[in-house]
């Protein structure tokens, strides 16, 4: 089966080339380990946290697996549930810079039996192997696939005060055949969706509730700058300027569906579906694994028309690499309009820093694209520079504007 997440479109493959040069100039994965010893004094509880940074269109989140703990960096993905990492042996797996997780070196690792609930009910593609292990195959919309065995081990978070927060027996995929559009810094995917096998569904009950919050730094941010994902009690997004929208519960429990009534470009309002009087509930989901925001074609075209009208530059039409995207030649950010996403009960304002992305030097492209489907995806560019809280118990998504490079 295929999960509607983790889509990479050409814009972001192009984006990769320009960033790689910079990355070769000094990035080392070690940079993202650092956890400031003196975090905010506001934080009194031991809230489990994970440093997360922006890398080639995805957000890489640090997770410590096993005993002794080994660091892995997985793509933070609210559009899928299974957390997996490549494990030795991994023949035919994509190339990775860091050593793969070795189950034989962890004293707390165990295989999950195929008769377990996790294999039979939580993971819809689990099946019994000859020796009673749970073999899984998990596929993504981007055509990437991980195949392996379902396992469990201790996952250790580090709290804001620097204390380790170990959580035992977390089910994850030990990938033994992982293929697809991954880069060599990515060691797997962290499934942050709402289904039963997702990380938050599993750990929520032991950390005071099924909720977590993220603050994604904008993509032009230096890769050494991390922000934090926070989990459980104390991770709520609160205070001045918070707006919340209901999560819409559908049969598919993985995606966080919300209702987008429409978008404004400056003061021009564009309804989500101008051909219908009422908007269909849960017409979008938030996906940290998808870079652009994806809209039905009609709304996308109206949006692009309005955005063009409000930008004094001439769009690029002669660069085949850029395809149909709305792009401009400019060395600074575009002096573009504020776009407001009108979610049910929550207006979220986006500035050009959240709506224009540089796929290569001197070019900025509009970070939205289109689909022939009626439903859309609210991608990770548009989620940047907001504290976003996902509360699976209260069924709300909350937003608060925040410079995530200066997250408290």
Ligand X SMILES: *[C@@H]1O[C@H](CO)[C@@H](O)[C@H](O)[C@H]1NC(C)=O
What residues make contact with ligand X under the rule CB under 6 A?
92, 109-111, 131, 133, 145, 147, 149, 177, 179, 297, 301, 324, 370-372
CB of 296 to ligand X, least distance (A): 8
The token duo for 79 is 């559009």
Closer residue to ligand X (CB): 137 or 405: 137
Closer residue to ligand X (CB): 142 or 147: 147
Closer residue to ligand X (CB): 53 or 306: 306
Per the annotation, the verdict on 287 as an active-site residue is: yes
Q: Are 333 and 352 in contact (CB under 8 A)?
A: yes
CA–CA distance, 298 with 262 (Å, rounded to integer): 12
Question: Helix, strand, coil % (nearest 5) of the chain?
Answer: 15, 40, 45
CA–CA distance, 68 with 70 (Å, rounded to integer): 7
Of 81, 153, 178, 287, the active-site residue reads 287
- Specify the residue for token string 């039996």: 113
CB of 300 to ligand X, least distance (A): 6
Q: Are 144 and 128 in contact (CB under 8 A)?
A: no
Radius of gyration of the chain (CA): 21
208: region left, alpha or beta (phi > 0 left; psi from -120 to 50 alpha): left
CB of 168 to ligand X, least distance (A): 15
Of 77, 81, 153, 178, the active-site residue reads 77
CB of 2 to ligand X, least distance (A): 12
CA–CA distance, 249 with 194 (Å, rounded to integer): 10
Per the annotation, the verdict on 318 as an active-site residue is: no
Closer residue to ligand X (CB): 374 or 403: 374
Beta pairing partners, 372: none
- Specify the residue for token string 């569906």: 257
Active site positions, annotated: 77, 287
């Amino acid at each position: 089966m295929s999960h509607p997440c983790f889509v990479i479109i050409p814009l972001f493959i192009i984006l990769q080339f320009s960033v790689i040069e910079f990355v070769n100039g000094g990035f080392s994965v070690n940079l993202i380990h650092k956890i400031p010893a003196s975090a905010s004094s506001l934080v009194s509880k031991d809230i489990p946290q994970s440093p997360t940074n922006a890398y080639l269109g995805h957000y890489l989140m640090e997770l410590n697996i096993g005993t002794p703990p080994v660091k892995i960096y997985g793509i933070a993905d609210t559009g899928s549930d299974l957390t997996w990492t490549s494990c030795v042996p991994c023949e035919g797996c994509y190339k990775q810079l860091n050593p793969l997780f070795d189950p034989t070196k962890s004293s707390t690792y165990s295989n999950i039996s195929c008769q377990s609930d996790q294999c039979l009910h939580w993971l819809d593609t689990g099946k019994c192997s000859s020796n009673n292990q749970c073999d899984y195959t998990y596929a993504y919309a981007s055509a990437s696939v991980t195949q392996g065995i379902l396992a469990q081990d201790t996952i250790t978070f580090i709290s804001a005060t620097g204390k380790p927060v170990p959580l035992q027996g977390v089910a994850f995929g030990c990938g033994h055949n992982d293929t697809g559009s991954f880069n060599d810094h990515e060691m797997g995917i962290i499934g942050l969706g709402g289904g039963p096998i997702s990380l938050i569904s599993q750990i929520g009950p032991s950390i005071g509730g099924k909720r977590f919050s993220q603050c994604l730094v904008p993509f032009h941010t230096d890769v050494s700058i991390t922000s934090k994902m926070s989990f459980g009690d104390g991770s709520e997004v609160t205070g001045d300027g918070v707006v919340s929208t209901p999560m819409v519960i559908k049969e598919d429990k993985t995606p966080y569906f919300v209702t987008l009534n429409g978008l404004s470009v400056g003061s021009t309002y564009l309804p989500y579906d101008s051909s219908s009087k009422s908007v269909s509930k849960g017409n979008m989901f938030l996906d940290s694994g998808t870079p652009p925001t994806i809209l039905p074609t009609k709304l996308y075209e109206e949006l692009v028309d309005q955005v063009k009208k409000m930008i004094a530059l001439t769009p690029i039409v002669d660069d085949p690499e850029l395809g149909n995207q709305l792009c401009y030649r400019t060395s600074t950010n575009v002096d573009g309009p504020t776009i407001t996403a009108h979610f049910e009960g929550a207006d979220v304002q986006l500035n050009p820093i959240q709506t224009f992305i540089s796929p290569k030097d001197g070019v900025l492209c509009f970070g939205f694209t289109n689909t022939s489907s009626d439903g859309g995806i609210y991608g990770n560019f548009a989620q940047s520079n907001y504290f976003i809280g996902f509360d699976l118990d209260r069924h709300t998504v909350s937003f608060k504007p925040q410079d995530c490079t200066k997250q408290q």
